[in-house]
Amino acid sequence: MRSERDFIRRLQQAATRKRDDIQLDLGDDAAIVTPPPGRHLVVMSDALVEDVHFRRRYVPAEAIGHKALAASLSDCAAMGATPRYCLASLAIPPDAHALAERIIAGLLALADRTQVALVGGDTTASPGGLFIDVALIGDIAPACAVTRAGARPDDFVFVSGTLGAAAAALRAFERKLPPDPAAQARFLFPEPRLKLGQALAKRQLASAMMDISDGLSTDIARLCEASRVGAALEAEAIPIAPAAAAIAGSPEAALHLALDGGEDYELLFTVAPKQVPAVLELREQLAGEGVQLACIGRVTEGAAVMLRLAGATRPLQPGGYDHFMRSP
Amino acid sequence: MRSERDFIRRLQQAATRKRDDIQLDLGDDAAIVTPPPGRHLVVMSDALVEDVHFRRRYVPAEAIGHKALAASLSDCAAMGATPRYCLASLAIPPDAHALAERIIAGLLALADRTQVALVGGDTTASPGGLFIDVALIGDIAPACAVTRAGARPDDFVFVSGTLGAAAAALRAFERKLPPDPAAQARFLFPEPRLKLGQALAKRQLASAMMDISDGLSTDIARLCEASRVGAALEAEAIPIAPAAAAIAGSPEAALHLALDGGEDYELLFTVAPKQVPAVLELREQLAGEGVQLACIGRVTEGAAVMLRLAGATRPLQPGGYDHFMRSP
């Protein structure tokens, strides 16, 4: 069996990139880094647990590493921040030792593409399942970060991309059906919307923003609660992923996947009316990169989140994932 | 069952401290913080896994939270850095839900004492054991951080405190014997040597430093490897904890606990000859706070780590804990 020291040594070889802002990386008690001066730090962490967030049966090791970093990168995108450094802690069961390097390879591939340096972490045995926790440090210009709390009545509600693709792939995997390839890619290798988040934050176009990780119905409720507002969404405007429509069997079921499915890692944001033209311009610029933006409703006074469907308006219940309440 | 949102809300209430350097803490996609300008960031993380690092049978929930943060604080101390912010990710099995708040309470008690703010993290279910990962961000003046790599031949080797107490308590727990109270406290609520580490770094008294988490025999080998030196330790000079001597049954067994026991969370550091007087002065200052310092040997050329015991010199084999190789 390989030792922790050997693993860390190989990690060092894989992760070492000379960067002026990194004085010391893997292999000492801590890493020493110097982010750009004059900016605020943005810090967050996300944990993935085997058989809660993924099953090894259908999530390859590289995707486990990718998804673990992508979850934090998506949070970073939702603040409008630039990611810089990450720490990865891995607990590895005896039957998964061979996976550890592939998990890190998946994480490093995404880290490289997003200019994130893996500077530390921890590796340990696990008598239970596989566990990975990624802490991410980014930075942002003062006063530019976009929180969940800034939505105001009459703001427009936008989402990026399409919703329900990851949930469609998950459903196919759970039923042991071959998933739609595009949906499978979205589920296994989600692409955090860093450029979009940074563009919205830099131009101060979004009044509130968060990423959709637990399902639109759950996350819009969180944004509204943080902003002390309500929302009225239009079912017809919600961008349902084609794969969700295909696997769902009915338009209602497809809408349910898009509203409640989770793991979309798209951005949900609100825009004051006067900023809408600038957002629509940004949409044109981003369309060339394959990122679409949809306006799905308005912010309202009060606290209710409503959905209008076929002329009728009903309360939209949070139907997404609560990590304490359910298993996948 | 309680929901994740409720748990986070209670966490926010428990953790909220107004601090000028924290713009946004728990409850959004990320925290926003502004560490003091002109300093380098020091970042690290440590994971504790149930039945690898602790057993719930003898480690109370508060101690799990304390130990998880203490492990990172000890790394921070070993760099000489000042800890500022932490993120805690928890994976909680169904039968441990009631423990989550006590784990966080234990973490927050130590965080408060060390002026560390809990600014984020993640909470999730775990189908296996309990898992906690703490990422810590600290800072240090440029060029003051002490790495493992600076030891030079003829430097003196020092350790803080006494060694083997945590291992003695662990042995008692595993044998279902009542542990020595002082050893139990060291095992359950280790005290990171932040002041000592910071004093050594600020005055640039240590040429290399690390914390002893996996046992002196293992960690001195790591320091020597990083510094490309050897060491000659004097067995008689190693400060064996009284509880280790009491449970061991023989002087050889007591020495083994002190060398190989692990979880000491003391500092191991090397001192150039001309700095020894200043370190001895510091020792007098720290004695009032109950932190003793022992000189246990010299740094040598070459790569061998030797132990002199009763006139005979033998190689000191790393006998400590490798998280990939063994269970406790």
CA-CA distance, A235 to A237, in Å (whole number)? 5
CA-CA distance, B306 to B326, in Å (whole number)? 24
Structure token digits, residue B59 = 């480690």
Same domain, B124 and B78: yes
Q: What is the mean pLDDT of chain A?
A: 91
Q: What is the mean pLDDT of chain B?
A: 91
The reply to whether B201 falls in a domain is: yes
The reply to whether A146 falls in a domain is: no
* pLDDT score of B147 more than 80: yes
**A108 confidence band (pLDDT: 50, 70, 90):** very high
The reply to whether A322 falls in a domain is: no
The reply to whether A254 falls in a domain is: yes
Picking from A140, A175, A192, the residue at the C-terminal end of a domain is A140
From residue A298, give the alpha-carbon distance in Å to each of A124, A224, A301, A307, A308. 47, 11, 10, 11, 11
Are B233 and B315 contacting, i.e. CB atoms less than 8 angstroms apart? no
Domain count within chain A: 2
Mean pLDDT of B167-178: 90
The reply to whether B39 falls in a domain is: yes
CA-CA distance, B149 to B220, in Å (whole number)? 12
The answer to ipTM > 0.85 is yes
Q: Could you tell me the residue range of the domain that residue B103 belongs to?
A: 4-140
Interchain pair B29, A128: CB under 8 A: no
CATH of the domain at A193: 3.90.650.10
Same domain, B165 and B134: no
CATH of the domain at B93: 3.30.1330.10
B32, B91, B226 ranked by CB distance to A49: nearest: B91
CA-CA distance, B144 to B206, in Å (whole number)? 10
Chain A to chain B Cβ contacts (< 8 Å): 251
**A132 confidence band (pLDDT: 50, 70, 90):** very high
* pLDDT score of A11 more than 90: no
Residue A323 forms contact with B (CB below 8 Å): yes
Same domain, B99 and B198: no
CA-CA distance, B25 to B27, in Å (whole number)? 7
The reply to whether A325 falls in a domain is: no
Picking from A77, A111, A140, the residue at the C-terminal end of a domain is A140
Q: What is the pLDDT of residues B5-45, one digit of tens each?
A: 666 666 766 665 678 889 888 878 899 999 899 999 999 99
Hey, how many other C-beta atoms are within 10 angstroms of the C-beta on B143? 9
Q: What is the pLDDT of residues A288-312, one digit of tens each?
A: 888 899 999 999 999 999 999 988 9
Same domain, B209 and B103: no
Which has the minimum average pLDDT: A1-10, A132-141, A178-187? Answer: A1-10
Interchain pair A129, B124: CB under 8 A: no
Same domain, A182 and A306: yes
Residue A154 forms contact with B (CB below 8 Å): no
Closest CA to A283 of A133, A127, A160, A118: A160
Same domain, B185 and B311: yes
Query: Which residues have CB under 8 Å from B155's CB, separation 6+?
Result: B207, B208, B270, B271, B272, B273, B298, B299
Same domain, A25 and A66: yes
Same domain, B48 and B168: no
Picking from B140, B174, B208, the residue at the C-terminal end of a domain is B140
Same domain, A290 and A172: yes
Residue B29 forms contact with A (CB below 8 Å): yes
The reply to whether A148 falls in a domain is: no
Same domain, B105 and B193: no
Whole-number percent of chain A with pLDDT over 90: 73
Same domain, A311 and A271: yes
Residue B145 forms contact with A (CB below 8 Å): yes
Q: Which residue has the tokens 């932190």?
A: B291
Same domain, B136 and B163: no
* pLDDT score of A322 more than 60: no
**Which residues in chain B are contacts of A120 at CB distance < 8 A?**
43-45
Residue B9 forms contact with A (CB below 8 Å): no
Q: Which long-range contacts (CB under 8 A, 24 or more apart) does A278-284 make?
A: A278/A203, A278/A205, A279/A156, A279/A158, A279/A200, A279/A205, A282/A196, A282/A199, A282/A200, A282/A203, A282/A205
Closest CA to A147 of B24, B18, B251, B201: B24
The reply to whether B265 falls in a domain is: yes
Residues belonging to chain A: 328
**Which residues in chain B are contacts of A322 at CB distance < 8 A?**
3-5
Are B321 and B262 contacting, i.e. CB atoms less than 8 angstroms apart? yes
Distance, in angstroms, between A210 CA and closest chain B CA?
A: 6
Q: Which long-range contacts (CB under 8 A, 24 or more apart) does A273-282 make?
A: A273/A154, A273/A155, A273/A156, A275/A204, A275/A205, A275/A206, A275/A207, A276/A156, A278/A203, A278/A205, A279/A156, A279/A158, A279/A200, A279/A205, A282/A196, A282/A199, A282/A200, A282/A203, A282/A205
B287: left (phi over 0), alpha (psi -120 to 50) or beta: alpha
- Pairing outcome for strands A230-234 and B22-24: unpaired
